[in-house]
A and B are shown apart, each in its own frame.
Chain A
Amino acid sequence: MSILVGPQTRLVVQGLTGREGGFHAAQMAAYGTKIVAGVTPGRGGERALDESVPMFDTVIDAVRETGANTSCIFVPAAGAGDAIAEAAEAGIKVIFCITEGIPVHDMVGALAIVRAHGAHLIGPNCPGATSPGANGSGTKVGIIPASIHLPGDVGVVSRSGTLTYEAVQSMTDAGIGQSTCLGIGGDPIIGTTFREALELFAADSATRAIVLIGEIGGSAEEEAAAWAAENLKHLPRVAFIAGRAAPEGRRMGHAGAIVSGASGRAVDKIAALEAAGFKVAGSPTELPRLLIEAGYKKS
């Protein structure tokens, strides 16, 4: 099994006819993801991805006609908050938002609607999730490059994109496969926090170890650590925190990556994770070795 995405996924891509949406939808389909619909207002009735996918004007139409249960959003920032709300109102229960640069007040409103419908939002400004499978049997929603994955039983959760690729590549190179790799996004307001991701992994019987990749800013890593100390004792767990060398008061690229006074610092996150039984790496390349040291055995 896996979390959030897997064989049960029936994906609708919002913004499928855009440049990014079209490119990544083709990559997802090639990896084995079942893309059942695309939504672009005004393009209903057309077909996309070499005529293989029907297009709809609205998400609710796509859900009614195709049974879509998961959405991946590539809509430009100005309309992305609305696209999230539309997906939630249409009954989609797992919503990924890849779009970067959504105004934060739009997210406050959209997230309230997502919660009212009991849906999961992942992101925004996230790379998505992959539950690896061999030879076109995996499920990949978002933009994580397929080539870095290996099917396995380590759950990976991260706030970042390329840093996740780096970490996962080093695991794959060491022969350590992944149950699901999940990027939760680098914005200050996100739909799924580290803690919520850990809860999902804890409930997944196919996940036998955890890799958490955090960064400076906020206190989501500390909150996840506190929860893990009580609830994840049975799983080997390792972590990496980016931003030890970051100066105070500056936003390090991600809107959420900022040390404000004494809050959000890397040292405190590392201390909290270590206190919760995580082995914390000094470089992402050390993660595979630390997993083994933490008691993880390759299956």
Chain B
Amino acid sequence: MKLHEAEARELLRRAGLPVPDGEVATTPAAARATAERLFAGGATQVVIKAQVLVGGRGKAGGVKLARSVEEAEKIAAQILALTIKDLPVRRVLVAPAAEILREIYLSALIDRSSRGILLMASAAGGMEIEEVAAKDPTAIIREIAHPHAGLLPFQARRLGLRIGARGDLLKQFVAIATGLVRVARESDADLVEVNPLAVVPEPELPGGERLVCLDAKVTIDDSALDRHPELEAWRDEDSEDPIDREAREMGIAYIRLDGSIGCMVNGAGLAMTTLDLVTRAGGTPANFLDIGGGARADKVAAAMRIILADKGVKAILVNIFGGITRGDEVARGLIEARGQQERTVPMVVRIVGTNAKEAAELLTAGGFATATSLDEAAEKAVALAAGGAA
């Protein structure tokens, strides 16, 4: 689950990391009130940032500076009226604009290759890390955190020194880097990214410079949300499609695509393969859908509702390899779903493995078109979507 910037900042703030002041507003008037407070506190400019869970919001006009309270209100109204990549902007973050001397990149993430927590730092902050990696891979410095103790201070120092931090700034960097790993571990985040980690003037500190987390990206491991009700409460249900929510609550992995053949499969690898074979047979998949292992009739019926909610679906391909999942249960679910659904589309069903024989009897009695091999099922579905017979 991705957190919005405002909540990601809050998570870092609670962990004692330096995050600038700022507040979320849902109306231009509230944005104005926050801007008023920030200007009164000494800010010379404020930044107003759309809170949407997509990249590229700056380019889409979702991040702007304001020099006065009036301007802040006006800009907040503009941004709150935006829709960025299909997501309506419902909230903005209003924060003081910092005077940035330099920008650093810093992140902690779960790394598949080392099978641990990887820290990445770069003196070239402000741009996407992928961009840095493409331009100059040597500019990215890496450390693997200790699997049980987190990032040790000497590791954090090594990172900081190699991106040029010295003196008091190095001390600040060590506190922030170890803090990021602490946040990742305590909140079960698979990504905590601060970009930019900005160097700003701070006359009160020995080196005259201070590090602040200006923007933050945090992704929480979906498998761990059960033990973090406080984070689950931050889920942005407004930006979640109702169909996606139903799928999530039913334990169905569903991803809508833009084709015409609805797919219902058990197992993620087989579901991906089904999409590949539909594509190879000249069709276009309308979705990825994995009903999971051991699905019962009610889950099959829910999956059918989810597929049919997509009006672009012209045919359905059901592909089940019974193992834990029993073929006859799926067949019963399909028959049950057919009695409930509002519209009918042609369907081809392939059920093999556990209780396939019982399933075949039920499907034949119910008049379903069936297939034996995976390739045949895909070809039949493509023909059905094009208006042909199975």
Contacts and interface: CB of A to CB of B under 8 A. Distances in A.
Given A158-B269, A163-B267, A283 B277 contact: yes
A151 interface: no
Interface string A258-299: 000100000000000000000000111100000000000000
Residue among B115, B277, B375 having the largest count of chain A Cβ atoms under 10 Å: B115
Contact of B130 (A107, A147, A261): A261
B112 A166 contact: no
Interface string B135-150: 0000000000001100
A169 B117 CA distance: 38
Contacts of B115: 107-108, 111, 189-190
B374 interface: yes
Contacts of B270: 160-163, 166, 242
B227 interface: yes
Contacts of A111: 115, 147
Contact of A213 (B224, B226, B269): B269
Contact of A245 (B224, B279, B373): B279
B223 A104 contact: yes
Given A103-B188, A253-B290, A166 B374 contact: yes
A64 interface: no
A104 B110 contact: yes
Interface stretch (A8-16, A86-94, A214-222): A214-222
A22 interface: no
B353 A165 contact: yes
Given A109-B147, A163-B273, A78 B267 contact: no
A166 to B, nearest CB: 6
A258 to B, nearest CB: 10
B178 to A, nearest CB: 16
A256 B223 CA distance: 12
B333 to A, nearest CB: 17
A218 to B, nearest CB: 5
Contact of A242 (B113, B221, B227, B273): B273
B268 interface: yes
Contacts of B112: 188-189, 218-220, 256
Contacts of B353: 145, 147-148, 165, 169
B267 A161 contact: yes
Given A77-B223, A245-B285, A215 B272 contact: yes
A200 interface: no
A243 B276 contact: yes
Contacts of A254: 268-269
A242 B276 contact: yes
B188 A105 contact: yes
Interface string B311-333: 00000000001111000000000
Interface string B292-324: 010000000000000000000000000001111
A247 interface: yes
A112 interface: yes
B276 A245 contact: yes
Nearest to A186: B268
Q: How large is the interface on B (under 10, 10 to 19, 20 to 34, 35 or more residues)?
A: 35 or more
B184 interface: yes
A216 to B, nearest CB: 7
A264 B267 CA distance: 19
Nearest to B323: A145
Interface residues of A, number: 62
Contacts of A160: 267-270
B255 to A, nearest CB: 5
A198 interface: no
Interface in A201-260: 213, 215-216, 218-220, 223, 240, 242-247, 250-257
A165 B272 contact: no
A256 B222 CA distance: 12
A143 interface: yes
B271 A245 contact: no
B113 A161 contact: no
B190 interface: yes
Nearest to B259: A245
A252 B272 contact: yes
Contact of A247 (B185, B257, B352): B257
Contacts of B323: 127, 143-145, 161-162, 165
A105 B277 CA distance: 35
A78 B276 contact: no
Contacts of B166: none
A148 B353 CA distance: 8
B67 interface: no
A78 B222 CA distance: 13
B354 A108 contact: no
B173 interface: no
A282 B277 CA distance: 8
Given A254-B269, A257-B269, 9 more contacts: A105-B188, A111-B147, A163-B269, A245-B272, A253-B253, A253-B267, A253-B271, A253-B288, A284-B374
Interface of B: 110, 112-113, 115-117, 130, 147-148, 184-185, 188, 190, 221-224, 226-227, 253, 255, 257, 265-273, 275-280, 285, 288, 290, 293, 321-324, 352-354, 373-375
20 contacts: A77-B223, A103-B223, A143-B323, A160-B267, A160-B270, A163-B272, A163-B273, A166-B321, A169-B353, A186-B269, A188-B110, A213-B269, A215-B269, A218-B112, A223-B113, A253-B268, A253-B269, A255-B223, A257-B269, A285-B373
Top 10 nearest A-B pairs by Cβ distance? Answer: A160-B269, A253-B268, A162-B267, A163-B269, A112-B147, A103-B224, A242-B272, A253-B253, A162-B270, A253-B290
